[in-house]
Amino acid sequence: MHKFVFDTNTIVSAALFSLSIPRQALDKALERGVLFVSEPTSLELMTVLLRPKFDRYLQREKRELFLASLLQQVQFIEIVEKIHACRDAKDDKFLEVAVNGQVDALVTGDTDLLELHPYRSIPIIKPKVFLDHV
């Protein structure tokens, strides 16, 4: 079973835009394997996805349903090894999931994370690259 981690912005884009590249990548990841999250990454996702500014793209109720469905499909992992490697310290939590979960890929559009590719042999790739190569 393949293991993946997606950053918050990629999942938010997947939720808001059902035909987007991030959505296609997320759907493919869930078909081919399991998505790993930690408590900090899932809390950030909940906080960001439910922001009122996204109401104009997708009703809050639909975002809540997306979130509930997604959280039933993910695997939570405990962070044993802390990571301090990213230029933006807020992104270290995704590296922590990747390393502690020994994932096959971290999928993101964030340049602060992408510039670390690969991190400890873990590919850090854009959703389009994920679609093309996984």
Domains of the chain (ranges, CATH numbers): 2-133 (3.40.50.1010)
Interacting residues of 126 by C-beta distance below 8 A, sequence separation 6+: 107, 108, 109, 114
In order along its 134 residues, the chain shows pLDDT tens digits of 899 999 999 999 999 999 999 999 999 999 999 999 999 999 999 999 999 999 999 999 999 999 999 999 999 999 999 999 999 999 999 999 999 999 999 999 999 999 999 999 999 999 999 999 98
pTM given for the model? 0.96
124 with 7: CB under 8 angstroms? no
Helix (H, G, I), strand (E, B) or coil at 126: coil
Q: Which residues sit opposite 122 in a β-bridge?
A: 119
What stretch of H or E contains 76? strand 75-76
- Measured between its terminal Cα atoms, the distance across the chain in Å is 12
